Amino acid sequence: MEQTATKKRKKSVNKTDFKKAFIEEVLTKGQNPASVFAFSKDLKSTEAEFYQHFNSFRSLERSIWSDWLKETTDTIEGDAAYAEYTVREKLLAFYFTWLEVLKNNRSFVLKRFEEIPKHEVNPYFLEQLKSGFAEYIKGLIIEGKDTSEIAERPFTNQYEKGFWIHFLFITRFWANDDSADYERTDAAIEKSVNLGLDLVAKGPLDSMIDFAKFMFQQR
């Protein structure tokens, strides 16, 4: 009886496999893979399969950080209690959850933030994440205006930029924190979020602006 030879179908390498392998190689070798060809070959894959998902190592890494942001927002928004939080409480929940997500890849986060200047506000690896963060913050700003937690001012459209700088500050602070259980980061989150929301809330500055407008109209 003639036997038919059967070949095992090669298991494809998916997006998650490529991302995990990329992080591992960066941490093991201290640098990005030499080439897409070599990287794919080590995974018993091909360049063609890699390019089905990403067009470069940069796009792969941007996707990694964006995934972490999505995991953060999915987690907090999946909590039924989150919908009842104030804007202040939602922002606090966001940061504490964000850093919990990062803990799983702390070595990789530290490496990347060590490689960029402290004044850098647009790291290439956060480009995709930044868009998702902007959408999240826009939602909080709109909600804050509706609940009067955030004051409507002539420069309200600049709040988004301030929140982005704050996001970078918190992430970098955590990356440099060597206190037990990141206690200093917890304090930095609470104090900076409270200060930030106090600054964008209605206060004496708004009364001064209203009075100045009134006096101008009396001329």
Span 168-216, pLDDT tens digits:
999 999 999 999 999 999 999 999 999 999 888 876 555 566 656 655 6
Q: What is the rounded average pLDDT of the residues 53-74?
A: 98
In this structure, the dihedral spanned by the alpha carbons of residues 199, 200, 203 and 206, taken in order and rounded to 10 degrees, is 120
Q: How far is it, in rounded angstroms, from Cα 100 to Cα 95?
A: 9
Residue 79 three-state SS:
coil
Could you tell me the pTM of the whole model?
Answer: 0.87
At which residue do the structure tokens 């930044």 appear? 130
Angle between helix 159-176 and 127-146 (nearest 10): 120
Q: What's the mean pLDDT when you consider all of the chain?
A: 90
